[in-house]
Amino acid sequence: MGNMALSLGYMGVDAALKNFADWTDRIAAGELPFAKPERPQGVERNMVVTMWDFSTPKYYLHDGISTDRDNPRLNANGPIYGAPEESTDLIPVLDPVTHTASQIRHPVPNPKTPSSTDLPMQPSAYWGKEPIWDGHSSIHNAMMDSEGRVWFSARIRPAPNPDFCKKGSGHPSAKVAPLDASVRQVSVYDPKTGKWQHVDTCFSTHHLYFGHDANRTLWLSQGGPQASVVGWVNTKMFLETGDSAKSQGWTPVIVDTNGNGRRDEGDTRLTAGFYGIMPSPVDDSVWGQSMGIGFGRLDQPGYLIRLVPGPNPSETTLAEVYVPPEGAWSPRGIDMDLNGVVWVPLASGHIASFDRRKCTGPLNGPGAASGKLCPEGWTLYRMPGPQFKGLDPAGSANHAYYIWVDRYNTLGLGANVPIASANGAESLLAVVDGKMVDLRVPYPLGFNTKLVDGRVDDPSAGWKGKGLWTMSGTRTVFHNEGGTQNRPKVYKIQIRPDPLAN
C-alpha cells in the first residue's frame, strides 16, 4: 500500500485520482479500447497450457523455480517451489506428477524479525479488517543450484547490520563501502535433508543468479538504485564453513571516467544498485540493470551496467554503463543468451537487445558515465499492442515485468529465445528471428506472471517432455476470476508441432 501511495504522489495525487476515476467511469459506461486485439496467429495457436492450484486464496507469489537455469534437466519431474514474498512464511510446493500441493515453513531465526502485519493497512472489500498476510521472511526470489538446493532472497532478522558490515570493520568490502542496514538477506533449503541455512548479508537482496566459477558465486541485486552496491556470496565457502562474513562481499558501482583502466580517485561512483542481475555466460563480467526515474524515484535514467570484478572485487571492480537509444527508456529485468547478448524489456514498450561486440569506440574515459558511448549496440523490438494516444507509435503501451532467455530450447521456439513476462497483456512475449510471438493465456482471466524458467523432464518425449514453468504473480489473486476462492496457480507452457497434435 505504501508503494502505491508513493506512485500516486509521484504522478501527482489529484491528477492521478482524476484520471483513474475518469477511466473507470468510461469503462462503466461501456467504452471499449480504441485498438482491437489480434487473435493468435501461426505458432501462437500451438500453445498448450496446463494449470495447477496451490497455496491459499489469502496468499500470493512473487515467482518460483523448477530447475537449475544452467542445467534444465536438473530436478526432472520434481517439485516446483514458490516465493510468497510478504504474504506468508509458508513456501508452496507443487508435485506435478502426483498433482499434490504442500507447504514448507521458512524458519525465522530471529524473533524480532519484522512481519508484514507491521505494514500500513486499510480494510479490504474482500477480507474486511483481517490482516491476511503474516509473512516475516519476505521471500522475493528463488534460484536452484546445481545440486538441487533452493536459494532464496529472504529476511532473517531486523534491518540493522552486525558490526562487521559497518564503518571501522576489517571486512574488505566494509572498508570500501560500509553498510548500516540490510532489509533482506539469503537462505538456502536442501530438499534432500530438509535442512535450512541462512547467510547474514550486509547488503539487501532482491534477485539472485549463480555465476559459472568454481566457487559457484551467487550474485545478488538489491532492488532499487539507492542501494548503490552489488553483492555476492561464495556459496562453496559458505556451505563448507557456514561463515556468513567471510563468504560475502560487495562493491560500489564505479565508472572509469578518467580512462586509465583502473579504479582510483579520478573515477565516478554512481547511485545505481541493480534490480535485475546476470553473470555473463561468456566471460567473467556480471551484468545488471538499474531502475529509471519511474520506479527508482531518482532523477536519472535507467542503466544497463556491465561489471568487471577484477582480482580483488571490492576494490578493483569497474563498471560500464549504457542507456537505451533515443525513443526508448527504462530497462526492467535482464537476461543473456549464450552468445553474451543482453536482453531487457523497456518501459517504452520495447524488448531490446544489447550486443557489446558491436561497440566501435572507447567504453571508458570522459562521457562514460553518461551511458551513451555505444548506441550501435542496441536493437529495439516493438511490443505488440496499442500505444497511448498522442505518443510516438514506435513504442507501445504494453509492458513487461522481467525477461528470461530460453537458452536450451525448453519451450520449442528455438535456442537463445528471449521471453518477456508481459503482465500488461496477460501473455509471454518471445522474440523469434526478429519477430514477436505473443503467447497469450486466455483463461482464466488475469494471467499475471513475473518470472519463468524452462525444464526438460524427458528428453526423449519431444514437446511433451519439456516446457516453461511460471506462476501467478499478482498480489491480489482474489481480484481474478473465482474471487476469494481463487488460489495462486502454477502454469506449464508448451508448444506442440501443430494445433491438433496430441
Instruction: Look at residues 308, 313, 303, 304 and name the one whose alpha carbon lies nearest to residue 285.
Output: 308
- Is the model's pLDDT at 236 over the cut of 70? yes
CB-CB contact of 320 with 332 (8 Å): no
- Angle, vertex CA 183, rays to CA 245 and CA 160, nearest 5: 65
* pLDDT tens, position by position, 15-64: 989 999 999 999 999 998 888 888 999 999 999 999 999 999 999 999 99
Average the pLDDT over each of 32-36, 313-317, 402-406, 462-466 and give the range with the smallest value.
32-36
Helix H, strand E, coil C: the string for 82-114 is EECECCCCEEEEEECCCCEEEEEECCCCCCCCC
The pLDDT-based confidence of 267 (bands split at 50, 70, 90) is very high
Given CATH 2.130.10, say whether it is the number of domain 138-382. yes
Q: What is the pLDDT of residue 3?
A: 67
As a whole number of angstroms, the distance between CA 33 and CA 40 comes to: 18
Contacting residues for 413 by C-beta, under 8 A, at least 6 apart: 43, 406, 430, 432, 437, 495
SS3 content of the chain, % helix, strand, coil (to 5): 15, 30, 50
Mean pLDDT of 314-333: 96
- Is the model's pLDDT at 2 over the cut of 90? no
- Is the model's pLDDT at 260 over the cut of 60? yes
Q: What pTM value is reported for the model?
A: 0.96
Mean pLDDT of 3-8: 72
- Neighbour order of strands in the sheet with 80-83: 63-65, 80-83, 90-95, 100-105
Contacting residues for 355 by C-beta, under 8 A, at least 6 apart: 340, 341, 342, 377, 379
Coil/strand/helix, residue 118: helix
Top-confidence residue, 355 or 9? 355
Contacting residues for 138 by C-beta, under 8 A, at least 6 apart: 85, 86, 116, 154, 155, 183, 184
User: Count of CB atoms within 10 A of residue 393's CB?
Assistant: 10
The CA R_g of the chain, rounded to the nearest whole Å, is 22
Instruction: Write down the domain spans for the chain.
Output: 1-33, 138-382
As a whole number of angstroms, the distance between CA 479 and CA 472 comes to: 12
Mean pLDDT of 140-149: 97
- Is the model's pLDDT at 122 over the cut of 90? no
As a whole number of angstroms, the distance between CA 227 and CA 225 comes to: 5
Instruction: Look at residues 268, 333, 369 and name the one whose alpha carbon lies nearest to residue 473.
Output: 333
* pLDDT tens, position by position, 70-104: 999 999 999 999 999 999 999 999 999 999 999 99
Q: What DSSP line would sit under 381-443, residue for residue? A: EEPSSPPPTTS-TTS-S---S-EEEETT-SSSS-TTEEEEEETTTTEEEEEETTEEEEEE--S
The pLDDT-based confidence of 1 (bands split at 50, 70, 90) is low
Instruction: Look at residues 347, 485, 475 and name the one whose alpha carbon lies nearest to residue 422.
Output: 347
Cell numbers standing for residue 397: 503501451
CB-CB contact of 305 with 287 (8 Å): yes
The pLDDT-based confidence of 111 (bands split at 50, 70, 90) is very high
496 to 102, 364, 416: CA distances (angstroms): 30, 47, 19
Side-chain-side CA neighbours of residue 258 (13 Å): 9
